[in-house]
Amino acid sequence: MKKKTFKYISFFSLPLVAISILYGCVKQPLNQNPTGQYTSSNYWRNQNDVVTGVMGIYSLLMVEDWIGHNIYSLDDQSDDISVDGDHPDMKVVERLNADPTQLVIYTAWPFAYEQIARANNALIYIPKVPTMDEAIRSRSMGEAYFLRAYAYFILGNLFGEVPVVREANVLNGNYNVPKSSVDSVRALVESDLLQAANLLPETYGPADRGRVSKGAAWGMLCKLYMIEDRFQDAITYGSKVVNDPNYALAPNYTMNFTSGQQENNTEILFAVWNGNGELNLPSSPISIYFSPRPWQGWGFHHPTEDFAESFEPNDTVRKKATLISVGDSVPYQTNLATVSASDATNPAFAGMAGMQTGRLLPSMSTTGYYIHKYTAYLANGDGGLDFNLKQPLLRSADIYLLVAEAKIRLNGAGAGDAEINAVRQRAGLASITGANINQLIHERRVELGGENIRWQDLLRWDKDKVINLDTIVGKPKAASPLPPYNGTVIIPARTFTRPKNYYLPIPQQIIDESKGVIVQNPNY
């Protein structure tokens, strides 16, 4: 699948309000047939324009080179998952050898700034719309603040210092600006999230499901404050989520990753609102990238044996919802494959060589596993992926465990037991007492596995000397011990270089197009 490129400055200065949905393999979103002759100055006329314009910001979450998939490949730097497929740049990044020319690093940048550009336009023009429902005006402003903050939050995590482009830059036409400090980027994220929390409603009716709420803003503030080691602030805002029944944990863990059980799920604070085309909801490609290739996916991500073994013996609910293992089947998956002689060396398929099966074969995975959370199939029996499965980006369980961590790091072992046990009990596990930071780290790993969180957790813990990343990346990634894998090393031991590997390099194309205004991160 060939990837194309696009211009950095044009994403900052895009004059048209983009309201069409971008998804699939569209790599030049500016090179599309225009859907209308609107400009920023004449588009924002009424309430309908406002609602549609804000939806245009959300639509970018579907893009595979942005939230739709590519930033998930960066989590494969962790110990949980190994990348596969035909994108060699992703494999180089996984080995901690990123360089400024790699496409997977570049693509996150322009789509993040496209999201920022659309949010900036909304924040400039929504207040100027002469007549509209003031509740919808307030909500729409809150959504724009949140979505701008979310883009900057990810950019800051990935690259550290990045350019800050706000409303004044748009009004002055000043887009080519140098990088701002990490503290400045985080300060903008904080300011935007506080604005969003003030403006957004706590809940929505059925017609507006999928929009961000106060809970999403509070949750993101908690995540930001944990990165900044502002533990008391993290507790303050995280507790707003934990103590609000509107954001309660789902009764069953699997409801977070089951098609048809997510729409009214109080735990899902923020998600890519996928669909199969109904109600104008397009399909995000996340399911394609995570699902096995013979089962209509592209099979890019393979969990490691170390991750599979990290689940406690009784943690069957979360493990089954998180991992597809050799021998497993998935409801409504009807694509059959032939069991090869090599497949038949696995105990699950002993004596079945030459037979047809709908279960996961050893030959379908390099490690013996797939992430299950983004894989579902249509009930009509045609074997097609069910794109109605939403892509959760922020769950209350994440916030429960961050509050627990903040309490432990402030007050010692046992201080976070209530939040940890709420998550464990929902998974059907016994409560624990006196939980320390290592038990918290374990709980985050198994609760949030495959959700693009592990690597950022490891980075912030290493910076604070809570863990030593050398011991984690220095352990080879290995496949299942069962035949025909026999514990094969998939990725050899790697070397983590501080401070270089805390951030990715700035894409060289961005530096070139800025004519040197943007400079490279240190050590690249």
pLDDT reported for residue 85 = 83
Q: How does residue 383 score in pLDDT terms, banded at 50, 70 and 90? A: confident
Strand partners, 271: 392
CA 217, 223, 227, 228 torsion-angle sign: positive
- What does the pLDDT read at residue 40? 66
Cα 190 → chain centroid: 19
Residues 512 and 491 in one domain: no
Q: Tell me the average pLDDT of the chain.
A: 91
Note the pLDDT tens digit of each residue in 258-298: 999 999 999 999 999 988 876 566 788 999 999 999 999 99
Res. 32 pLDDT band, cuts 50 70 90: very low
> Does one domain contain both 305 and 406?
no
Checking 333-340 for CB contacts under 8 A at 24+ apart, the result is 333/295, 333/358, 333/377, 333/383, 334/358, 334/377, 334/381, 334/382, 334/383, 335/294, 335/295, 335/296, 335/383, 337/294, 337/361, 337/363, 337/364
Please check whether residues 48 and 185 belong to one and the same domain: yes
Looking at 87-101, 282-296, 433-447, which range is the least confident one? Answer: 282-296
Q: Is residue 7 pLDDT above 80, yes or no?
A: no
**pLDDT above 70 for 328:** yes
- Please tell me the predicted confidence (pLDDT) of residue 8: 28
What mean pLDDT is predicted for residues 44-61?
95
Indicate whether 217 belongs to any domain. Answer: no
65 with 181, same domain: the answer is yes
Total structural domains in the chain? 3
Range scoring the smallest mean pLDDT among 245-254, 275-284, 435-444, 515-524:
275-284
Residue 16: which pLDDT band, with cuts at 50, 70 and 90?
very low
Residue 108: pLDDT above 90? yes
Average pLDDT of the segment spanning 458-471: 98
Residue 252 located in a structural domain: no
Q: pLDDT tens for residues 471-507?
A: 999 999 999 999 999 999 999 999 999 999 999 999 9
Indicate whether 60 belongs to any domain: yes
Q: Would 280 be classed as within a structural domain?
A: no
pTM over 0.75: yes
Q: Quick one: pLDDT at residue 42?
A: 77
Share above pLDDT 90 across residues of the chain, in percent, rounded to a whole number:
88
Specify whether the CB–CB gap between 496 and 473 falls below 8 A. yes
- Select from 54, 165, 26, 147 the least CA-distant residue to 393: 147
Considering the domain architecture, whether residues 441 and 518 belong to the same structural domain is answered as: no
CA distance 107 to 65: 6
**The 3-state secondary structure of 453-480, one letter per residue:** CHHHHHHHHHHCCCCCHHHHHCCCEECC
Q: Are 140 and 195 within one domain?
A: yes
Between CA 363 and CA 299 the distance in angstroms is: 12
pLDDT for position 28: 35
pLDDT per position as a tens digit, 138-172: 999 999 999 999 999 999 999 999 999 999 999 99
Question: What confidence tens digit (pLDDT) does each residue in 210-238 have?
Answer: 999 999 999 999 999 999 999 999 999 99
- Of 164, 157, 169, nearest in space to 180 by CA: 164
**Pair 329, 407 in one domain:** no
Q: Tell me whether residue 62 is in a domain.
A: yes
The pLDDT confidence band at residue 4, using thresholds 50, 70 and 90, is very low
The answer to the question of residue 271 being in a domain is: no
Range 309-332 average pLDDT? 97
State the pLDDT at residue 278: 63
Cα separation, 304 vs 321, in Å, equals 16
Using an 8 Å Cβ cutoff, are 472 and 484 in contact?
no
CA dihedral (24, 25, 31, 32) in degrees, to 10, reads -30
17 vs 95, which has greater pLDDT? Answer: 95
For residue 155, tell me if it sits in a domain. yes
The answer to whether 118 and 60 have CB atoms below 8 angstroms apart is yes
- 362 with 413, same domain: the answer is no
Q: Which residues contact 126 (CB under 8 A, 6 or more apart)?
A: 44, 50, 53, 137, 140, 141, 144
pLDDT for residue 284: 84
CATH number at residue 99: 1.25.40.890
Instruction: Among 341, 376, 411, give the residue marking a domain's end.
Output: 376
So what's the pLDDT on residue 29?
A: 32
Range of the domain at 171: 11-24+44-200+500-524
- State whether 87 and 190 are in the same domain: yes
Q: Does position 339 have pLDDT exceeding 70, yes or no?
A: yes
Whether residue 84 lies inside any domain: the answer is yes
CA–CA gap between residue 140 and residue 371 (Å, rounded): 34
Residue 446, pLDDT score: 98
328, 343, 376 — which closes off a domain?
Answer: 376
- State whether 479 and 511 are in the same domain: no
Which candidate, 186, 170, 181, places its Cα nearest to that of 519?
181
Q: 184 and 49 in one domain? A: yes
Residue 21 has pLDDT above 50, yes or no: no
187 & 166 share domain: yes
Please state the rounded mean pLDDT for residues 304-333: 97
Q: In this predicted structure, what is the pLDDT of residue 276?
A: 81
